[in-house]
Structure 1
Amino acid sequence: MGRWLKPEVYPLFASVGVAVGICVMQLARNICTNPEVRITKENRAAGVLENFEEGKQYAEHSLRKYVRGRRPEIMPNVNGFFSDPK
């Protein structure tokens, strides 16, 4: 067991843990809030629903609304420091 618990392996464990956490979060979001996923038998018996408003609300989640008006940069202050003329 001491072979795997070296300090060099901790970043690998952390990155895999973050990736698994993101996958679990997306799976839970799809199961709980996706309008096309139906878990209960009564909802599955309803067939194909034309619920465009619910689909639009699912697609336009809060993160997408937050990022919509922003520039696609990771670190805007560093990018501005090196690229903007003085």
Structure 2
Amino acid sequence: MASAYNRWSRPEVYPLMVALGGVVGLCAFQLVRNICSNPDVRVNKQKRSEGVFDNFEEGKNYKEHSIRKFLRNRPPEVMPSVNKFFSEPKEKHN
């Protein structure tokens, strides 16, 4: 057990552990979100017995979550200044 800890406790491995921890956190968040609020997922027996139902308002509320509303009118760029630097033509100096 000590050799495994010494192998994975090196400073070079920390960024990998942070990235994997973030991915696992995002997956867990999406799983809990789907189980708790997705209108197509029915966990308890009362909702499962309903079969197919047409509740379009609940589906719309699930799809239009707060992050989507926040990002709707923003440009789809992660780093706008870097994109402008590489995409806009350079001015000619005479």
> Is the shorter-chain TM-score for this pair beyond 0.5, marking a shared fold?
yes
Instruction: List alignment gaps of at least 5 residues for structure 2.
Output: none
Residues 1-86 of structure 1 aligned to structure 2 (within 5 Å): 1-80=5-84, 82=85, 83=87
Instruction: List alignment gaps of at least 5 residues for structure 1.
Output: none
Identity of aligned residues (%): 58
Q: Name the count of aligned residue pairs.
A: 85
Give the superposition deviation at 1:79: 3.4
Structure showing greater radius of gyration is 2
Secondary structure of residue in 1 paired with 2:53: coil
- State the distance in 2 between where 1:9 and 1:47 align: 49
